[in-house]
Amino acid sequence: MLVTLRDVPADAEITSHQLLLRGGYIRRIAAGVYAYMPMMWRVLNKITSIVQTRMDGSGALQTLLPQLHPAELWERSGRWKGYTAGEGIMFNLTDRQNRNFGLGPTHEEVITTIISELLHSYKQLPVNLYQIQTKFRDEIRPRFGLMRSREFIMKDAYSFHSQEIDLKDTYERMNKTYKEIFADCGINTVAVYADSGAIGGGASQEFMVTADSGEDLILTSSDGLYAANQEKAESRPPKANPLDKAEVIELETPDQITIESLCSTQEIHPSQIVKVILMLALNEDETTQPLLIAIRGDQEVNETKLMNMATKESGKTILDIVQITPDKLKSQGLEQWPFGAIGPDLKDKLLHNAKSWEKSFLRLVDNSAADLDYFVCGANKKDTHRKFVTWDLLDVSPIKVDIRKAKAGDHCIHDPKQYLKECRGIEVGHIFQLGQKYSKALNATFTNEEGKQEPFWMGCYGIGISRLAQAAIEQNNDKEGICWPISIAPFEVIIVIANMQDINQQTLGEKIYRELKSLGIDVLIDDRNERAGVKFKDADLIGIPWRLVVGREASSQQVELMERSTKKCKILGADIAIKKLIKEICQSKTYLRTESL
Ligand code: ATP
Ligand code: MG
């Protein structure tokens, strides 16, 4: 069954999504929900088989965990509310006995519970269990086909250790295994440092397929020694233009509420300003913590770093961070504040009459602002700023943190002569040292060598199988269609019989088909009663790596062999063409084998 579409489907924005739909690989059933058609299923199975081979080779054991998760498990880890309320992504339901369940978006709770029930001693560790299974996530913005869907296939693995050092060892082994898996799949990936959240975060790395359509921004150093997701990236801020030492003065700054207008009117540079951002952390325990964030005027706040730091410093689980607006002040029964002229020393007493907010600010200052000797900042009075201010002069002691967004052009931490460049990436894999975060929450312990109870040391390792398939297309296509890497292509060879009415063509085509098949080659034959031109177009679109055309020369046993990716084409005797195919295909497989040694 080969049904291709001529037109670009209206709802598909990126190339790989368009090609999957046009090539008849997938069909959309609902937003973020797709059917995998027979050729797609072959691709997914090939990726699955590569992943299984490498994971088994690393010593991990395959398993299959339930997709229906009882709410109690997630309540025990403290994640039920965050995952089901508000913008939570867990689909959930109630059974006929009125018990709550969630559809598994990830499996830490389930696996940790099982392991803690079964394994009791350090002598039984380490173990690494993996599964390949459909995950459900009610994504806020499902898009780009299989890239961000609500039902998708993931390989997830969870390792359990008696010591942190052993976890690090397995993490390194997974790092190597992932590199092999992606190389086997014929895709280029970059390993980048990734955010590991606020609590329990050990090392974490993402594997990115670089592509302009990628949702993640990656920053890499010019010498290639450093690569990080922007969420995590660190850098040196550009040098500030120092302000000379002088006595503090007040500036009248009517209508100068943006950095740009303040700078142009007062003839100062953005790097001489300490700007203040007022936010609210909405906590899981339903308290609301006002945040006063100070950062250098030419820099921006990284929301992920801010979330992590605010969580760490407040010790609370934060569900969301939102801006403080005049409306919010009003609803708390508070007087209006001089927005646009606020300084880092805005007084806590302004919060004292708040109806439900905490009564003092959590004050965070980014290093870029903390390092300024003299600066300009708001005077906490309408239309007024101050110049030549120092931190000593302000009677506040904010917590010094790194919450700055690193950007292309910034100089690197490891070597100031190197600078950061940016590109976009699609995350296809993620490895993560969880530490004792989940084992502590779920009270999952083992008896250690000293005979004491200790929470398991854990790691988790994910690969988006269905996302990877589409990412491979994003990286390998041309204007005619897909150019599958051979190891994950649905078929290795497509035989096109140019004219089905010609008995010579039909006979030779079918003979070659049988021969290749008997040699273990994945071969597809296009014996539809379509015009040759239509079949060639379809073959290009669906992207099988080798095309063998049986046409007019069939009577003299001649065929045409074309490599899809290079479009290099040769007329060859049928036997020679078969030999060449076997050689080429075996070579690509030998390459896979030697890589694994
Ligand atoms: P993202 O940051 O893209 O939302 P994530 O950090 O939530 O991903 P993990 O929980 O680390 O993802 O899941 C492991 C892998 O599963 C990811 O590396 C990605 O390849 C894949 N994946 C995650 N969410 C989706 C999705 N909605 N659709 C398809 N694949 C996904
Ligand atoms: Mg991730």
DSSP state of 176: H
The answer to whether the beta carbons of residues 252 and 262 sit under 8 Å apart is no
Cβ(364) to ligand 1 under 6 A? no
- For residue 464, how far is its CA from the centre of ligand 1 (angstroms)? 6
Per-domain boundaries in the chain = 41-234+421-474, 249-401, 491-595
CA–CA separation, 186 and 180 (whole Å):
10
CA 194–ligand 2 middle distance (angstroms):
8
Amino acid letter for position 324: I
98 Cα to the center of ligand 1, angstroms: 31
- Residue given tokens 């325990």 in the structure block: 285
Helices (H), ranges, 322-380: 326-331, 367-370
Of 525, 560, 540, the closest CA to residue 483 belongs to 540
d(C-alpha 490, C-alpha 44), whole Å: 9
DSSP code of residue 396 = -
Q: Which two tokens stand for residue 589?
A: 């497989």
| Ligand 1 pocket residue status of 107, Cβ below 6 Å | no
> Strand 216-221 to strand 227-229: parallel, antiparallel, or no bridges (unpaired)?
antiparallel
Ligand nearest to the CA of 426: 1
Q: Around ion ligand 2, which residues have CB less than 5 A away? A: 430
Q: What's the pTM?
A: 0.91
For residue 213, give the amino acid letter.
Answer: S
In angstroms, the CA 389 to CA 75 distance is 49
Q: Is residue 189 within 6 Å of ligand 1 at its C-beta?
A: no
Among 154, 466, 468, residue to substitute to test ligand 1 (most atoms within 8 Å of Cβ): 154
Find out whether the beta carbon of 139 lies less than 6 Å from any atom of ligand 1.
yes
**Cβ of 42 below 6 Å from ligand 1:** no
Distance CA 471, CA 483 (A): 12
Q: Which of 167, 170, 214 is nearest to 192 (CA)?
A: 214
Q: 267 C-alpha vs ligand 1 centroid, how far in Å?
A: 47
Atom of ligand 1 nearest to the CA of 139: 27
The phi-psi region of residue 32 (left if phi > 0; otherwise alpha if psi is between -120 and 50; otherwise beta) is: left
Q: How far is the CA of 392 from the centre of ligand 2 (A)?
A: 41
Q: Between β-strands 481-482 and 26-30, what pairing exists: parallel, antiparallel or unpaired?
A: unpaired
CA–CA distance, 39 with 36 (Å, rounded to integer): 8
Enumerate the H helices of 199-345 as residue ranges.
259-266, 303-314, 326-331
The CATH T-level fold of domain 491-595 is Rossmann fold (3.40.50)
Angle, nearest 10°, between helix axes 38-57 and 465-475?
110
Instruction: Say which CATH class 249-401 falls into.
Output: alpha beta
* Any ligand 1 atom below 6 A from CB of 313: no
Tens-digit pLDDT string for the chain (597 aa):
678 888 888 888 999 999 999 999 999 999 999 999 999 999 999 999 999 999 999 999 999 999 999 999 999 999 999 899 888 999 999 999 999 999 999 999 999 999 999 999 999 999 999 999 999 999 999 999 999 999 999 999 999 999 999 999 999 999 999 999 999 999 999 999 999 876 656 899 999 999 999 999 999 999 999 999 999 999 999 999 999 999 999 999 998 889 999 999 989 999 999 999 999 999 988 999 999 999 999 999 999 999 999 999 999 989 899 999 999 999 999 999 999 999 999 999 999 999 999 999 999 999 999 999 999 999 999 999 999 999 999 989 999 999 999 999 999 999 999 999 999 999 999 999 999 999 999 999 999 999 999 999 999 999 999 999 999 999 999 999 999 999 999 999 999 999 999 999 999 999 999 999 999 999 999 999 999 999 999 999 999 999 999 999 999 999 999 999 999 999 999 999 999 999 999 888 755 544 443
Q: Please work out whether the CB of residue 145 comes within 6 Å of at least one atom of ligand 1.
A: no
Residue type, 373: D
Per the CB < 8 A criterion, the answer to whether 298 and 289 are in contact is no
Same fold, 249-401 and 491-595: no
* For ligand 1, atom 8: residue with the closest CA: 427
Contact 457, 115 (CB under 8 A): no
Strand-pair partners of 350: none
Q: Which CATH number fits domain 41-234+421-474: 2.40.40.20, 3.30.930.10, 3.40.50.300, 2.60.40.1110?
A: 3.30.930.10
Give the separation between CA 503 and CA 394, rounded to whole angstroms. 92
CB neighbour list of residue 473: distance below 8 Å, 6 or more residues apart: 15, 16, 19, 20, 482, 484, 543
